[in-house]
Structure 1
Amino acid sequence: MKTADRLSPSPFHSLIDVSRAVDWALVSRRSVRAFLPTPVARDEVESILEVARFSATGVNMQPWHVHVVTGTAKSRLSAAINAIDDDPARSSHLDEPYDYYPREWTSPYVDRRREVGWALYGLLGIEKGDKERMHVQHGRNYRFFDAPVGLFFTVDRVMREGSLLDTGMFLQSVMLAARARGLGTCPQAAFNKFHRVIADELSIPDSQMLVCGMSLGYADPDSIENSLVTDRAAVNDFTTFYNE
């Protein structure tokens, strides 16, 4: 897309139609946890990244790197991660590249975390205390919930917190572009503790830090876990207006 094209008037007949399309993509985006085996063409992935690259970024740093896995490479990586995840002696010593979650959980964040967790387990019929089934379900993260495409996002380690913000906006753009194309996504910080395994398998240089992973594909409409819709705080709960 050329700069001139980006600055030209909207090609759509109605700005209302544009706003509805954008609003639909934002509101209907979900974390998909069950995908169909339907392949996603490389051209489709590239078209998503083609538009996402115009995400906002401080002083045009564009700090993100994207690593796309499919086919045998994806299966091999999943097997390597699951082998460690299923071995407490090996998985208990893993660390994370950065603190995604707070070190001390407080309300309302811990309440929201518990609510979504138990809502998902409730749909799947997993009872509280059933650690084995919880582990199996969590392990599906590392198989990309059966999605045909996996993505990993990294930034250079020399970058600071601002680049994580930029990459977060890039992630949102990827997810919205995918949604507009009828595809589902699931951003996954669950991959982070396996950052060394991922780097080894994909030959990612040590100068890059993993931000998170993502599953991409066509959502399975018949899977119960995809019926989960999380509650969101009302605008008045997180917004303060100042006019004087």
Structure 2
Amino acid sequence: MSIRLAPPPNIPADTLCRAVDWALASRRSIRAFRTDPVAREDVKAILDVARYCASGVNTQPWHVYVVTGAAKDRLSDAIMRVYDDPSLSAEQDEPYDYYPQEWVSPYVDRRRKVGWDLYGLLGIDKADKARMHAQHGRNYTFFGAPVGLMFTIDRGMGRGSLIDYGMFLQSIMVAARARGLDTCPQAAFNKFHRVIASELGIPDTQMLVCGMSLGYADHDCIENALVTDRTAVSDFATFHEE
């Protein structure tokens, strides 16, 4: 029987509910990973279950480039060469507007808080531009994770396909948690989409959506103590009953 039509696992319903809730709520952006390898079979299993997420008229608009080992190191080196060169870095652009052109409250307040909470844990002062540059640059070495994922979409697809992609990314991250793995979705890669396309042979017909680090969290690293706030349901949900 297809897994999509199979009954739920033969465990108490409340246990199943708690397990799903745990996988969703325990997902965090991890910024320091152990070097322990992740088996290709595990990566394939995560992608295999994530592909069942919803997409408009079943378009399934995702393509994933998985980098490990020497290939991941070469990609990181190529990005870092540009990132560390101010003139080359200034020439880079974004493939699409991930963030707003003009920030307003409450979004800008949340953005600032998570940034300074992270730098506060790391002891990085607002004036310490060198350490801020170095910390941001850790994005491009996948925070030490053994697996890097690059996600692309056909340039001809509409904005709605990015909604589909969000569900795909969330499915990957939740499936990773269920297997004891951690992730960090990273829009930071987008600025270097041309470097990434060149290194991975991504055709011009595809646009980079984001990158992601995948591996086992290093809980000895202080940055992984960061737990971001979430607003209450009452702050964002409106119920109409009559």
TM-score norm. by structure 2 comes to: 0.99
How many pairs align?
242
Post-superposition shift, 1:13?
2.2
SS at match of 2:4: helix
**1: CA distance, partners of 2:103 / 2:184:** 23
Matches within 5 A, 1:7-156: 7-156=5-154
> What is aligned with 1:216?
214
- The offset of 1:8, in angstroms, is 2.7
1:94, distance to aligned residue in structure 2 (A): 1.1
Unaligned 5+ residue runs, structure 2? Answer: none
Q: Post-superposition shift, 1:21?
A: 0.4
Percentage of pairs with the same residue: 71
For residue 9 of structure 1, report the CA deviation from its aligned partner.
Answer: 1.9
Whole-Å separation in 1 of the counterparts to 2:203 and 2:217 = 32
RMSD: 0.8
The one-letter code matched in structure 1 to 2:92 is L
Q: Alignment partner of 1:175: what SS?
A: helix
1:43 Cα deviation from its structure 2 partner:
0.5
Question: 1:171 pairs with 169, 172, 179, which one?
Answer: 169
**Shift, 1:15, TM fit:** 1.2
Tell me what 1:183 maps to. 181
In structure 1, what is the Cα distance between the partners aligned to 2:56 and 2:161? Answer: 8
Q: Distance in 2 between matches of 1:22 and 1:89?
A: 47
Instruction: Summarize deviations over 1:210-237 as a string: whole Å, max 9, x none.
Output: 0000000000010000000000011011
User: 2:211 & 2:9 partners in 1: Cα distance?
Assistant: 34
Tell me the distance in 2 between the aligned counterparts of 1:198 and 1:241: 44
Alignment correspondent of 2:229? 231
The residue type paired with residue 82 of structure 1 is: M
Q: Secondary structure at the match of 1:7?
A: coil
Say if 1:70 and 1:150, in contact at 8 Å, map to a contact too. Answer: yes
Q: Distance in 1 between matches of 2:83 and 2:168?
A: 29
Compute the TM-score of the two structures, normalised by the length of structure 1: 0.98
Whole-Å Cα distance in 1 between the matches of residues 93 and 9 of structure 2?
48
* Alpha-carbon offset, residue 12 of structure 1: 2.5
Matches of 2:156 and 2:4 in 1, distance apart?
31
Residues 38 and 218, structure 1, Cα contact 8 Å, conserved in 2: yes
Task: Indicate the residue corresponding to 1:6 in structure 2.
Answer: 4
Q: CA contact under 8 A between 1:12 and 1:18: conserved in structure 2?
A: no
User: Per-residue deviation at 1:129?
Assistant: 1.2
> What is the alpha-carbon distance in structure 2 between the residues aligned to residue 83 and residue 175 of structure 1?
29
CA distance in 1, matches of 2:46, 2:116: 33
For 2:163 and 2:32, the matched residues in 1 are separated by 28
Give me the whole-angstrom Cα distance separating, in 1, the residues matched to 2:7 and 2:44.
Answer: 25
Residue 11 of structure 1 and its aligned partner are, at CA, apart by 2.1
The 3-state SS of whatever aligns with 1:6 is coil
